[in-house]
Amino acid sequence: MRENNRMFFLSLRLLVVMMFGASTFVCAGEGNKTAQYTKKETFGNADRVTKSLRLWYNEPAPNNNTGWVNASIPMGNGYMGVNVFGGTETDRIQITENSLYDWGEDRGLKRRGLNNFAEVYIDFGHDNITDYKRELNLNEGVSFVKYKQDGVEYTREYFTSYPDKVMVIRLNASETGKLSFTLRPTIPFLNEGKSGSVKAKGNVVTLSGAMHYYNIKYEGQFKVIPEGGKITASDNGTINIVDADRAVILIAVGTNYKIDSQVFLTESATQKLAGFPDPHIKVTDYMNKATAKPYDELLENHQKDYKELFHRVNVDFGAEEPTIPTNKLVDTYPEGIYSTYLEELAFQYGRYMLICSSRKGTLPPHLQGIWNVYEKPPWSSQYLHDTNLQMAYAPVFSTNLSELFESYVDYFNTFEPRQRLYANEYIKQYNSSQFDPNGDNGWSGPFWSNPYDVPGKSKVAGFGTGSWIGLLFWDYYDFIRDESILEEKVYPVIYEQANFVSRFVKDVNGVLLANPSSSPEQKLRNTVGTTFDQQMFYENHHNTIKASKVLGRSDSKLATFETQLPLLDPIQVGKSGQIKEFRQEEYFDDIGDPNHRHASMLLGLYPGQLINDNTPAWLDAAKVSLQKRSHKTNIGWARAERIAMWARVHDGEEAYSYYKELLSENYLHNLFNDHRGDPLFQADANYGATAGVAEMLIQSHDYVVAPLSALPKSWPEGSYQGLLARGNFEVSAKWSDRHAKKIEVLSKSGGLLELRYPNVAKANIRNVKGKKVDFEVVNDDQISIHTRKGQTYVITKIPTSVPVVEPSNLKIVNNSATNKIELFWDTSADAKSYNIYWAGDNAPGYELVASDVESSNFNFDVSNLKPHDQMTIKVTAVNADGRESNNGTTLLWLMP
């Protein structure tokens, strides 16, 4: 019998190898070893090797809250979040279910909200162990523990399956009859607000109870399936296994919460879930269906789902896998040791966390993703819509995980009816002349929400939060170009948001402004026309008009949106040369905290599309704002956001500097983001860092696909595969000496591909079969290809282009008597000549004043210029080949 079991597991190992190619899979069997992951992937016609991406440790996580936040291994499947400690005397598995919510009048950091669902303990009594190792393998989506006790090797495998809605744990001993343990699920934080009990019967422990504020019923089932040995259920809610060969534990959890508008439209807290089925029904169904499948089928289902998502994207910055555990890797990163591996790992870790925490049919990720150990979690584990929720989804499209956004789509659709009621209230209150008594006033964006409540307006953030949500929906279409999604899921959302905005804005000196208006979390509140609101309004109006043309719509409000768009006045340039945050602001530090964590005046730069290479004067003003915001913030998500913002202005060195600061100062041993040094976990920076690195590697916000547009010097060689650009173009690139050797673009929807890279027009451009591709030359650095759906375009033999060094230190001497200003600048060693440009006041672009200027000074006659309060002057260098410097030296001149 035992020999048959041994042969079964050996056959299973062979089956797994056959199923997953040459990849190494760690099985709980005799003598198994953790090995390098060597699965073959494809880069065009060439094979590539995906390196092993692992978090690993040579000791368990400490069994306390510090161990939870700093060292436990997070897992999840949307239905539950799990933190695995990997103990040997006792293993601890902490479980979170995102609808298990409490509420109260708490203020400050720690507030009642999301509650800890269960603390599960597995007692082994192993206290004399050697050769300990625990691991989270990102390639496999599986966590492992192994060690030796008294000459026996014990192994555990953990995974959380989205298809089967369960957590699966397999335990094994290298010798037969040597596996003994006690399973002890417990309910944390029982008090007047939470009741429950734990009962064991046969091989199942059932944990159930209620959270009383919202009348939430909850249940967890824990089934032990041993092979060999003896099983005993105890009256205290535990199950004891003695002398087994191996065992599988299945965990299913749930509540009576339902993603339904009833929850948000019902005023009474205890009636929000009225009529919804008891969770016992669905939890039992999950468990019965999972029990009917053998372990290998559960694993196969999980990995087929997980790998299809995770393995779409690969990045390689040239790092070797380190030989030190992840906690030491994190500790030594500030010294630059094994740094590129951590950079690769952190990028993919954000994608891993999103796969864990955002799945169709489940609640979206909150401030802490899908993980919480506390009774009073930080800021209640809410959804904050003034950056944190949006940052959770920042990498969802660019890193090729678009379907994960469905979780938020469903959640939004449940609270949107409540937001329509608020919209009626606000239009009537703030602009009654535009109020529609029949309720056709669109929907208003929230500041915060949770699974049970979406309250009214907050002065902490302006009404632009709704349009920022609309921006997420637009990106959902814009990246994947599915017109059915545009028509059914995106257009209704952005159209009705534009409807609200069109009624809310008021004429102020010829422009249409938000009143009241606030810039998120700055102290000046209830003002007029903050850049945050105006930029978000502009983006949503613009995208709604664009969507209507794609769909051929002629809805009644579209003409109003067209008229309003140029009057929304989204950019004001201040006297420091900055993008203003407030309209009454003159110099950068006039109002609010100049080093504030939020950079809300730059949302048109990122994640929006308003500020781009086609608006170079605004792009330069954005650089000024970024420089002046400085590096003084220690907030994790703010650093993550600045990675992307600096990438959008094509400064890879500054983008990389924020990535280094984030990894050096905010990432904990398990790669959770330490929000501000408490340690205080927030997941937003994990997601945001991934999105920021993606922006360094590929950009397309101006509808030109631009690979490697913010590549830092620290990544001189590398490659990536599978990043997604707008238009549903899947892009891969390989580079050496910071120069692209190969760019591949898979056109997944067809259409026009605009591609920008230095000297790309002189490259070899073919399809995967080697046939030359017809293209149009825009200039040496940009081409257009009319692509066919499903065709891959391969660009090689790109001539090297050395960027032209820009001039510096521009100075102005004003001669008011002659209406001339004299410009002086420090020369560029590359320059044969210089170009002079100017932009007046808030103009998005520059006008050429003079070209072929060979000296380093220039007399600028301003007498013929239209009256302006200020103008920005820019000088660029042009080399002997006619190539102009990417940047220039700029100076803002306040005109007399």
Are 799 and 740 in contact by the 8 Å Cβ rule? The answer is: no
pLDDT of 25: 29
Task: Give the pLDDT confidence of 167-217 residue by residue, as tens digits.
Answer: 999 999 999 999 999 999 999 999 999 999 999 999 999 999 999 999 999
Is the predicted pLDDT of residue 419 greater than 90, yes or no?
Answer: yes
For residue 525, with 0-12 CB atoms within 10 Å meaning exposed, 13-18 middle and 19 or more buried, which class applies? middle
- What is the mean pLDDT of the segment spanning 853-868? 89
Does 416 have pLDDT greater than 50?
Answer: yes
pLDDT band at 43 (very low <50, low <70, confident <90, very high): low
Average pLDDT over residues 242-252: 98
**How far apart (Å, rounded) are the C-alpha atoms in residues 695 and 705?**
11
Query: Per-residue pLDDT tens for 284-305?
Result: 999 999 999 999 999 999 999 9
**Tens digits of per-residue pLDDT, 866-877?**
788 999 999 999
What is residue 364's three-state secondary structure? coil
How many CB atoms within 10 Å of residue 709?
22
Lowest mean pLDDT, pick from 46-60, 99-113, 333-347, 621-635: 46-60
Q: For residue 780, how far is the Cα from the chain centroid?
A: 34
The reported pLDDT for the residue numbered 46 is 42
**Could you give the C-alpha distances from 482 to 411, 487, 492, in angstroms and in order?**
21, 9, 15
Task: Return the pLDDT at 547.
Answer: 98
**Mean pLDDT rounded to a whole number for the chain:** 93
Nearest partner of 303 among 529, 17, 596, judged by Cα: 17
CB atoms within 10 A of CB 129: 16
What is the spatial distance between Cα 193 and Cα 175, in angstroms, rounded to a whole number? 47
**What's the helix, strand, coil split of the chain in %, to 5?**
30, 30, 40
Q: What is the pLDDT of residue 339?
A: 86
Residue 815 has pLDDT above 80, yes or no: no
**Geometric angle at alpha carbon 610, from 571 and 630, rounded to 5°:** 65
Concatenating the DSSP letter of every residue in 477-491 gives HHHH--HHHIIIIIH
- Predicted TM-score of the model (pTM): 0.94
Task: Single out the residue of 663, 653, 652 nearest to residue 696, CA to CA.
Answer: 652
Residue spans of alpha helices (H) in 505-565: 531-551, 558-564
677 — pLDDT class (breaks 50, 70, 90): confident
Rg of the chain, C-alpha, whole Å: 29
C-beta separation of 13 from 25 below 8 A: yes
Residue 781 dihedral angles phi and psi, to the nearest 5°? -105, 5
User: Residue 501 has what pLDDT?
Assistant: 98
Supply the pLDDT for residue 440: 98
Q: How many CB atoms lie within 10 A of CB 160?
A: 28
